[in-house]
Amino acid sequence: MSRRALIVDYGGVLTVPLRATIEPWLELDRIDPERFRALMRQWLGPEAADNIGHDLETGRLAPAEFQRMFAEKLRRADGTLPQPDGLLERMFAGFTQDPAMTDVLRRARKHGLRTALLSNSWGFDYPREGWDDLFDTVVISGEVGLRKPDPEIYRLAAKRLGVPPWTCVFVDDLTPNIRGAAAVGMIGVLHRNVPTTIAELEAIFHQPFG
């Protein structure tokens, strides 16, 4: 089967690993790391029910209101709260793009592949400069009212690319999101690091990406 498109996540795929961004913020705001991780497992795990994180990602909850509710859930052991104002800005302050993955997208386009960004937004102000040279389309959850792993958001990305879902390869760093892509016929690549992702893409597309 001909693979015609490459779709990638943003945070943790096109950027430095999330851990490198999150851990300094946890220390800065004096938040218990295990409390934060438990909350993320509850919100982002395969059995996650609707929650305020999902509401933020789909645009149903404004970032300012989310920050207030998020701060309450991150209450410190001494009973104090991290400052709600600017919480998301501090959380994502270390987000920087990974040049190696940007190069992967450029090579994909040279190979004639359609490319897209598919990201669940946390009120993050994406640095979009240069995106016209990287992506044929961009699908941000808060802008379309859908979120990964809802099958409809993958179908929307494929539709905007003008290709069937089963001709797409999707790269993400979260297993539930990979499973969502596979459910609509896409090939999923779980991003652990750049070299292994490049190796998988080269095996799938039979083209050099490194």
Model confidence over 10-36: pLDDT tens digits? 999 999 998 888 999 999 999 999 999
Confidence of residue 43 (pLDDT cuts 50, 70, 90): confident
Tell me if 95 sits within 8 A of 15, measured CB to CB.
yes
114 has pLDDT over 80:
yes
Model confidence over 46-87: pLDDT tens digits? 566 678 999 999 999 999 999 999 999 998 989 899 999 999
- Position 46 scores a pLDDT of 58
94 or 182, higher pLDDT = 182
Packing angle of the helix pair 33-44, 18-28 (nearest 10 deg): 130
Q: How many CA atoms does the CB half-sphere of 200 hold within 13 Å?
A: 16
Instruction: Determine the length of the chain.
Output: 210
Tell me if 141 sits within 8 A of 162, measured CB to CB.
no
How buried is residue 154: exposed, middle or buried, by Cβ count under 10 Å (0-12/13-18/19+)? buried
108 has pLDDT over 80:
yes
What's the one-letter identity of residue 45? G
Nearest to 138 by CA among 129, 166, 49: 129
- Backbone φ and ψ of 41, nearest 5°: -65, -40
The contacts of residue 50 (CB under 8 Å, 6+ apart) are none
SS3 3: coil
Q: Which residues pair with 170 in a beta bridge?
A: 7, 188
Token pair 């009212």: residue: 145
Q: Is the peptide bond before 46 cis (omega within 30 degrees of 0)?
A: no
Q: Tokens in use for 111?
A: 């190979």
Domain boundaries, the chain: 5-16+96-205, 18-91
Token pair 């001709």: residue: 167
- Which CATH code for domain 5-16+96-205? 3.40.50.1000
Model confidence over 116-158: pLDDT tens digits? 999 999 887 888 999 999 999 999 999 999 999 999 999 999 9
- Position 79 scores a pLDDT of 87
- Position 1 scores a pLDDT of 62
